Structures are given as structure tokens and as C-alpha cells.
Structure 1
């Protein structure tokens, strides 16, 4: 083999390694997060019968941001930041459920109000952390985490968090018919042999798991979990047997497009929440103008 052949072969191998190690890993992560957040949003909207419900409704995103901020302030490595975000997101939801139990509310409104309370508390804690953070290093990392990005996703992160998202997606796909049952009146649900409170809590738990894992992997990404379920229902109707899989597909495609724009528009990655905001706001306005009943 000549030197020229070795040179071009080496360049080809390097390009292949770059595609497999960086681009492919990132695309898989984007697809999983897009599908997961969209399915979580569709699940929350069905469980709470509220078209404005989103994966942030129980405070999981703000709680995860607080966990990430704590790790960033302690100069922890990226895998510790991801773990702290995941744990704090789950802890926030547990506290939300505890507050709801003390309120003795018999409807989902109490749980939503508890989520608003915890979100407000976590936002205050996060604001305090940003105030004491080093403005030249730590503050930028915290703000960038709040806005979401796949720039730092690698094999280790995908292998550790990806299976959690995949399990959540598969579970919701298998049990999606239960979401239809939960929209029925209480007497009918009990007649068909379903415990409404237990099933509601299970669905909320898996939707929360998806949200926490997504935030753990790439930070907070807005609008996907709110807008995509409405797009899917416009396409296939309100039946969750079809709307939930459609949400997964549309969410994955939409986030791939947003991530491609985030990488292509500027030399540095634009935070994803900025891109998804520019995409999601016009779509949501169009849905409202069209007169779609969002079930508020």
C-alpha cells in the first residue's frame, strides 16, 4: 500500500470514527429525548385533562436544574452533574406529591398547584445559586444547562441515561390505552376493573422519569412537551392509542430539526430552548387561532 493510499485510508477511518463517536451518539440522544419529552407531555395532558400541562408541570425541570447547579458550584465532573440533576428532579416530584397529599385534594388540580409551588421554590433556590456563582465560569454553565444542549452528550452519558428513557417510552407505549380509560368518569373506570388513582400515579411516575432523565442528559428543553402532543392530536385525533406513538415520532423529528439548526446557524451551538421557542411559539399560536380545544 502506497503512502498516498494510507493517507486517504486514515482520513476515511477518522471521518468514520467522528461520525460514529460524535454525530451518531448525538442523533440517538436527540431522538430519545424528543420522543420522551413529547410522550411525557401527552401523558400529563391526558392525566390532568389539561392541554396546557407539560413535562415541567410537577417542577421536575426546575428541580433537576437545581441539582445540576449544586454540582456545578462544587466543580463536579459532568457525570456527577447529570446524576445530581436526575436525583433532584425525582426528589422535587416526591415533595410535590407529599404537598398534594397534605392538601387532601380529590382532583388533579391539587397536584398541579403543588407543582407550581415547588417550581416557584426551586426557581428561588436556583436564583440564589446563580447569584453566588462565579460569573466567569459557573454562572455560564448553570444558565447554559437551563437552556438545554446536546453538545456535551457522549457515549458514557447516553449509555447511562438512554436505557432509562427507552424503558419509559416502551412502558407508556404498552400501557397507552389506560390513558383513554382515565379520561372516563370514575364509575365507568371502576367498572372495567381499573384503579384510577393507582393508574394515574403510575402514568405520572413514568412521565416524570422520562422528563428527569431527559433533563439529566441535555438540560431543560422547552416547548417540545407542550406543543408536540397538540400537533399529534391534530393529525390522528384524541385516541391515545394513536396519539402517543405519533407524539413520539413528531417529537423526535422536531427535536432533530431544532438540534440541526442549533449546530448550523452559528459557529457555537445555540441553546436548544431558544430554537424550540422560535419553532414552538408560532405553532402553538396557530393551534389557538385554528380554534383547537386545548381543554384548559
Structure 2
């Protein structure tokens, strides 16, 4: 690229950076206004500001409860889950050099679904369900990594095949649990969890997720220039002095920690980690130094917008997994038609 072209692209790049920073903040504030209990914008601002500066409360106590106990955890959850799944998807696509992989490629969703189902059957408590989903999501990926170490073939191919095998295994076990579950009490709870929802998320849930997701995301951001090298291929990585196998495992483990922790509170929400990285590449290019922050921002905005839509569409809330599929599938077809798919 010539110096002139770089100078022409610099303002557009700065503008895109500003948009990716401002847009999540605006959607975060606007989401407090959305819901069946109307709260005026000025009241929302005063309620939030009262936590920072001394303001005389001239609003009902129920308003503060709606803002901080109901909407704030859900808004934060939507942004963390969306951003986490999108970032994990971008990393998986770079590691596998494949535009069609997602955070669930190595069986995270199947493992988490089985873990949640078995906890619902045995305990029926929300925190037990979240912990079990997180643990079995990690177990599924651990099986895949173990298979890649056991068979000394092309490690990337073995990982993908291992993901298919492990995913099928846990899906079969999940089907077995659904078959024996009480159709009047347990089965509907399992099905609703699998469809994905943030309706019951609390601040305690968010703290548990952030403890895992934030350090993992920061570690991936610090490694993003190395992921660029990994996306070039193992041979090129070796030439540049990078241990491709070790770096691949580190990125997979960090991405899986993010995906498993977010899925544990949201249920199975597909398409976010598949579509958003491609959209981010169109906006900022394939360089992971810019791609990962962009996917984090766009994923947070996307799922927050979907969740806002779910809250107001119908009287009975539509599960997020349904909405993300209805929106994500046509967008993915559009990207495929215009040749927008690619891992680099």
C-alpha cells in the first residue's frame, strides 16, 4: 500500500474506531429505556448519576429496582455474552484458518447443554446449572485437545474431527436425558435453557462470568499480533520463530473459557460467533490487532440489540437463540453471496 493510500485511509480508520467505541456506550444507555415498565430518559440518567454524585431521590423505589436489579444485569450480560462469543469466534476462525468455524466447533455447546440438563434433572437450581454447563463445556474441549495429542496427524484436522465426535457424543447424551426427563416439569426447563435467554441473569451471575471472561479476553488481546502469524499457517509461524502448536492451544483454551463462561448464563446462542467476525473483517480488515477489538464491540452491540428486541416483540419473550438464527442466517447468506467470507 502506498503512502498516499495510507494517508487517505487514516481518517476513515479513526472514524471507525470512534464509532466502535461510542456505539456500545449509546446502546448501553438506550437499553435502560426499553421494557414493559416505562422509565423516562431523564429519570434513568438521574438514577444512574445518583450512584456517583449526591442527588435527592425524587423517583419511586421501584424505578431504581427496575434499573439496577432487572435491566442493568441483563444489559451487561448481553454485552459480555455477545462480545465474548464474537471474539471467541474470530480467534477460532484464525486458529483453524476456516471461515465456517465458531466458538462451538469443539463441542462447547453440546457439552454445556448436557451439563445444564444433568444439573436441571439432579438439582434444579440455577447456580448448579450454570456451574455444570461451564464445567462440561470445558470437558468437551479437553477431550478434543486430548485427541489431537493422541493422534500425531495434522493437529488442526484432528481437532475439528474431534469436535464433531465429541459434539455428537454429548448431543446423544443430551437426547437421552431429555428422553427420561419429566415432560411436565424438567423437560420444558431444559428446552428453554437450550434456546437461550438472559431473563433470569443477576449481578451475582455477572461477577462469576467476569472473573473468567475478562482475564481471558485481556490475554487474547495481548496475543492478537501473534494470532496474525498463526493465521498465516504453521510453516510461516515456524519461520518467524513462533511455536504454532503451543500458541494454538493457548488461544483455543482462552477462547473456550470465554465461550463456556458466557454460555453458562445465557444458554445456547448461535450465529454470534460465526457472523460477527466476518462483518468486522469487512469494516476493519483481517488484521487481528484491530479485528479482535472490533468483534468485541460489534458482538456486544449485536446481542444487546437482539435482546432489546426480544424484550419488546411479544408478551411472551422470544428466546435469543431463535432470534439470532433468524437474523444471522440471512446475513450470513448475504456475506456468502458478496464474497465476504474469509479467515484472512
Identify the TM-score tier after normalising by the shorter chain. over 0.9
Corresponding residue of 1:96 = 144
Corresponding residue of 1:271 = 319
Moved more, 189-198 or 118-127: 189-198
Deviations 1:52-105 (A, max 9, x none): 010110001110110110010113311011011111111111111122222222
SS of residue in 2 equivalent to 1:158? helix
Paired with 1:88 and 1:56, the residues of 2 have a C-alpha distance of: 13
SS of residue in 2 equivalent to 1:152? coil
Q: Deviation of residue 187 (structure 1)?
A: 4.2
Question: What RMSD in Å do the two structures reach over aligned CA positions?
Answer: 1.7
TM norm structure 2: 0.81
2:118 aligned with 1:67: no
Deviations 1:153-204 (A, max 9, x none): 0121111122211222211112111110102343442343321111110000
Corresponding residue of 1:220 = 268
Paired with 1:295 and 1:21, the residues of 2 have a C-alpha distance of: 40
Q: Deviation of residue 293 (structure 1)?
A: 3.9
Paired with 1:209 and 1:86, the residues of 2 have a C-alpha distance of: 8
Q: Retained in 2: the 8 A contact 1:90–1:208? A: yes
Q: Deviation of residue 11 (structure 1)?
A: 5.2
Q: 1:204 to 1:240 in 2, by over 3 A?
A: same
2:326 aligned with 1:281: no
**Structure 1 residue aligned with 2:124, among 76, 79, 82?**
76
Q: 1:33 to 1:193 in 2, by over 3 A?
A: same
Q: Retained in 1: the 8 A contact 2:286–2:343? A: no
Q: Deviation of residue 33 (structure 1)?
A: 0.7
Corresponding residue of 2:169 = 121
Q: Deviation of residue 292 (structure 1)?
A: 2.3
Q: 1:131 to 1:228 in 2, by over 3 A?
A: same
Q: Retained in 2: the 8 A contact 1:29–1:162? A: no
Q: Retained in 1: the 8 A contact 2:86–2:274? A: yes
TM norm structure 1: 0.93
How many residue pairs end up in the alignment?
A: 289
2:301 aligned with 1:239: no
Paired with 1:185 and 1:161, the residues of 2 have a C-alpha distance of: 33
Corresponding residue of 1:54 = 102
Q: Which runs of 5+ in 2 are unaligned?
A: 1-56
Paired with 2:141 and 2:296, the residues of 1 have a C-alpha distance of: 23
Corresponding residue of 1:141 = 189
